[in-house]
Amino acid sequence: MSDHEQPPLPPTSRLSGDALPPVEQHAQQYETVRNAHETELIEDYVELIGDLLRHRGEARAADIASRMAVSQATVSKMIRRLNELGLVTSRPYRSLFLTEEGHKMAETSRARHDIVLHFLRALGVRDTTARIDAEGMEHHVSDETLAIMQRFTEKHQS
């Protein structure tokens, strides 16, 4: 369907029963996933804080806790981490705010999230399902794939 630059597909378009990828490539796949996992949660928190600020004007720990379905203690601990990472500023009993860097991360995450979500809907996935899938998928979609998803969505939007 896509007449975007067709990548030069390797000679072997492998089917399921095919050879394993070479060790280094295989290893790199798993490494990429592990690295994604490290930043995933951080990004989720930052993205949510950004969303809360945008829509509610403030981001309180209690809201984060209920939206993430996690205890307040967990959120509190996480906020300390985000603070150490220079992503948020927080004064006790006050709303959180994002630093410059945190804001950038939130924007990037939200953009990525939206692209995936809209793509899934354009594909024909039901809204509720699309939201759940997007939440999980967003951290594992490369920029290359993201670009393709975006073009696809634009094209298939009536």
Chain positions 90 to 109 lying near DNA, rule: CB under 7 A, are 90, 92-93, 95
Q: Which of 46, 48, 49, 79 binds DNA (CB under 7 A)?
A: 79
Say how far apart CA 102 and CA 60 lie, in whole Å: 16
- Say which entry of DNA, its own copies, none residue 77 contacts (CB below 5 to 8 A, set by partner kind): DNA
- Say which entry of its own copies, DNA, none residue 57 contacts (CB below 5 to 8 A, set by partner kind): none
* Residue 74 near DNA by CB under 7 A: yes
User: DSSP character for 94?
Assistant: S
> Comparing C-alpha atoms, which of 40, 61, 52, 46 is closest to residue 106?
46
Q: Which amino acid is at 150?
A: Q
Nearest distance in Å: CB 71, DNA: 3
Most distant CA atoms of the chain, gap in Å: 60
Nearest distance in Å: CB 128, DNA: 22
Under 8 Å between Cβ of 147 and 48: no
* Residue 19 near DNA by CB under 7 A: no
